[in-house]
Structure 1
Amino acid sequence: MNSRRDFLQKLSLGIGAATLTDLTPGIAAPVTSNVPADKQLRVALMGLGGYADIVARGMKECKTARLVGIVTGTPSKIPVWKQKYGIEDKNVYNYENLHEIKNNPDIDLVYVITPNSLHHKHVLQVAAAGKHVVCEKPVADNAKQAREMIAACEKANVKFYIGYRLHFEPHTKELVRMREAGEFGKIMHVNNYAGFKIGDPTQWRLKKSLAGGGAMMDVGVYSTNGARYCTGEEPIWVTAQESKTDPVKFKDVDETVTFQLGFPSGIIANCGCTYNFNHVEMLRLMGEKGWAEMNPAFGYGPIRGTTHKAAIDQPDVNHQAYQMDGIADAILNGKPDPNVTGEEGLKDMLVIDAVYESLRKNGAKVFIKK
């Protein structure tokens, strides 16, 4: 496993699995209604890298969302995508003419899947064009940018969501349901880790100007978000440490970061992320009455979990299809927003900002700014 795509792409076994129950607070439910084709949410993907192709393939399973357009700066990709996904010429854009999408009634939403440090610029552009937005995580380079993105979408009266696919994933959903139902008792401790050994040293993820940071900005989002949905609380302080075994390869970005999150109730979460080694994708929750472990916890599937009671018995699904159907259902049918809005992305960025501040201060405790 030598790339982020390898790390995450354990594609779901049971695409089109059984319908789940109603919305669990904090984790969105999948769509259960059938929406006529002429009322589907029509989506354009912006940035046609490896993950965009995974989203596009996943959307073939959607009931309420449909891929109709693309935005790319690489002309050679256009004929391939047109043929593979049936994209019409009128729904093809580049970064220079993106503003013209405002006049296209056949596109409702743009899913931004460009490098991290371009998210801020691109979300602002899409909002200005009056289209709803999904943005891949991390939402931005920092919390300040995230706030600006939220404000721009509110001003334009468009919806703004972040690609937290695990908030729609049944095993993760069940873990949160059990925690909220008190089946673990008072939560005492959380331990989670996400990472992989990164490959190509010339890729954009190792360039701070495009990635915003290293492992912390990439897979570290899983650690922060996982700690938050395992506790149901927002952390109030952080301490963090970095180790770097290859100062040449990782001259621009962090390689391995371990960090601790302190929560209002006294819970401590030990978290970590790395670009230096494989086989780290786990989450463990300890409570007064019981425990849960997810391993694998963060990839594209299958997710696996067990608790003090039994294995978490939930269907394997296509994460990207469930995510896009959930978002489409909220937009088309006036359902409550799933817990993947820009505000959720901001909460993770507040933690990540504090982690980097702690690293700059040699591991000192940093209180998270709200």
Structure 2
Amino acid sequence: MHTSYHICLLNIWKVINSPGGSEKVFCEMANALATKGYKVTAICCDAEKGAPFFELDSRVRFINAFNGVPLLSRGIIKNLRSLNIDKFKRKENRRIIDCQWKAKSIQSVLSNIDPIDLFICTQSESTYILKNILKCDTPVITMCHNNPEVFIKNPQFSFCNEAINSCEALQVLMPEYVDEARSVLDKVPIIYIPNSAPQIQESASLHEKRIINVSRFDEQKRIDLLVEAFALIASDFPDWTVHHWGSYSPQTKQIMNLIQGKKLQNQFFLNGSTTRISEEFRRSSIFAIPSAYEGFCLALAEAMATGLPPVGCTDCSSVNSLIRNKSNGLLVEPTPEKYAEALAKLMSDFDLRKKLGTQSKVDMEAFAPDKIWDQWDKLIKNILRN
């Protein structure tokens, strides 16, 4: 037991009522560390009131540090303060302004809680706040929830790299991400620890004529590719349906219009978010993940752990590692024609669905939660002992 160690998880992105992957990891990590005997405080800075979408253990102290946005950090004034000829610099300036006002809210919280032995930052801006603004000398681990190309190597986030380089560790989600991150960050130890996959006893029967896709509405997720692909084969499989689960966003209307334009209203459904996604996986027979890039997709991991055969794209980071083509799923080029061909192959062949789904389930055993949280426990203890 490690009751003498106080661990603080810091997340300055949206947490309240938000069902995304990084939010899920934030809550699951807090719960797992509390179970291992650490004293855990989970801090966010979210304008919305309420609780996290994912349940927190009663032993975790959850604090929303949000205390209002200062006038000089809002709207037109914020945009004026961010002015620059370079559009990337403008975006960077806006992010720095957000970090500055959030830092004040976080500082007031930290001054009123017990001393912290280790911070785990769930994004690079959290690390920037601690290291560059608050000048914190407490050990910090930074998590990279996506491909390093998206954040660490992105010019819009380069202002955070000096802070990350001074951390005790940077965690990445796939082995290949170690070298990618190292090409930019030459001082911080870079550690590969993947996300965990639930170990699910009951598998999907794979008899239901349902394809499932779980994602937010975002260009990254390429939901339009799935719609375009399914439209090519929908008339050949009139009993099959596609069910998308994920919270609505401004892009939802665009996808709705595409579905209507392809006359798929009776076969392609946008269902919103749910707290019962495990049930939806068990009711499905194929998991579609047409994403352009991922860090380590939790929905893919849970789908595979439920015994669903996935269809992914060859150009998608991490997906093209977790899915081994024709072994535990299918990988195809990101075109409607190729994606439709892969879906049709699985839709018309139960034995193939069963074969690939069975292997998917076996492969997810390597990511069992106990194994992953033991790796985190070992990393934390090594840092605190040294």
Q: Under TM normalisation by the shorter chain, which class is it?
A: 0.3 to 0.5
Which of the pair has the greater relative contact order for Cα pairs under 8 Å at 6+ separation?
Answer: 1
More strand by share: 1
More helix by share: 2
TM norm structure 1: 0.39
Select the structure of larger CA radius of gyration.
Answer: 2
